[in-house]
Amino acid sequence: MARQDQVLLLEPQHELKFRGPFSDVVNTTLKLANPTDRNVCFKVKTTAPRRYCVRPNSGVIDAGTSINVSVMLQPFDYDPNEKSKHKFMVQSMLAPPEMTDMEGVWKEAKPEELMDSKLRCVFELPAENEKTHHDLDANKMMSSNLLKSESSTLSMRSMSSTLDDGEVKKIMEECKRLQMEAQRLREENKQIREDDGLRMRKSNVMSSQHSSHSMVKEEGLSLRTVALIVLFFVVGVIIGKLVL
């Protein structure tokens, strides 16, 4: 039994065009529309699966709706003398009611239930005049950058030429003097910090010594007072015995 005619409407119908250059990923879109009143299962296959990335490559299109399939051609070295033999096939079938396992439906489908459409791949390079225009724009940009670079170089040369050897020597001497002055200030600042640290250490030592001396002096006065009191007490006792 002959297969059914494709119920899906494809856009484009016969060719998938990829426009170069092909040094990067080139994307094209395949639109699949379902004009029927039933859901339709679909699959997108290619003869060169390693060269293309297809998203989505299968699924279900609801009745009266459409879906966009993105077909991405991977980078490759394009040879204009080599004719493309790559092809795509869109396979479809009417989805059974209450479908739960789409892979199982595909496996159990009868040949007469399947519908397919084939498309060939076409590679296009930019037109010669567009390429020439692009090259002219690139040349203009390059020339502009070169002119800017040369202008900057000439301005630097003219600036240096306005200074004679004597002025250059004066500028170099002034720079050297400023460097020496900065070094001297750094050394003075370092010496001041060292002197301040030394004075602080001396002050701390003297304060500690003065505190120790005061404590010893206070202890000495206390001992003398006790000794005098004891002496007066003994003298008083002796005098009292003599009087009695």
Tokens of 200: 């602080």
- The three-state DSSP-derived secondary structure of the chain is CCCCCCCCEEECCCEEEEECCCCCCEEEEEEEECCCCCCEEEEEEECCCCCEEEECCEEEECCCCEEEEEEEECCCCCCCCCCCCCEEEEEEEECCCCCCCHHHHHHHCCHHHCEEEEEEEEEECCCHHHHHHHHHHHHHHHHHHHHHHHHHHHHHHHHHHCCCHHHHHHHHHHHHHHHHHHHHHHHHHHHHHHHHHHHHHHHHHHHHHHHHHHHHHHHHHHHHHHHHHHHHHHHHHHHHHHHC
Task: Out of 55-59, 215-219, 229-233, give the one with best mean pLDDT.
Answer: 55-59
pLDDT at 230 over 50: yes
pLDDT at 99 over 50: yes
Confidence at residue 200, expressed as pLDDT on a 0 to 100 scale: 75
Q: Rounded to the nearest 5°, which phi and psi values hold at 140?
A: -60, -45
142/130 Cα distance (integer angstroms): 18
Q: Are strands 87-94 and 40-46 parallel, antiparallel or unpaired?
A: antiparallel
Confidence at residue 193, expressed as pLDDT on a 0 to 100 scale: 78
Residues 109-135: tens digit of each pLDDT: 999 999 999 999 999 887 654 444 445
pLDDT at 2 over 70: no
| Rounded average pLDDT over 233-242 | 63
Confidence at residue 177, expressed as pLDDT on a 0 to 100 scale: 76
Residues 139-183: tens digit of each pLDDT: 556 555 555 555 555 554 544 444 556 666 777 777 677 777 777
Confidence at residue 132, expressed as pLDDT on a 0 to 100 scale: 44
Tokens of 58: 């299968």
pTM of this structure: 0.52
Lowest mean pLDDT among 17-26, 63-72, 125-134: 125-134
54/123 Cα distance (integer angstroms): 17
28/19 Cα distance (integer angstroms): 9
Residues 35-61: tens digit of each pLDDT: 999 999 999 999 999 999 999 999 999
Residue 235 carries which side chain, given as an amino acid letter?
V
Residue 30 carries which side chain, given as an amino acid letter?
L
Residues 174-210: tens digit of each pLDDT: 767 777 777 788 788 788 877 777 777 766 666 666 5
Q: Answer for the pair 85, 46: CB distance below 8 angstroms, yes or no.
A: no
28/52 Cα distance (integer angstroms): 11
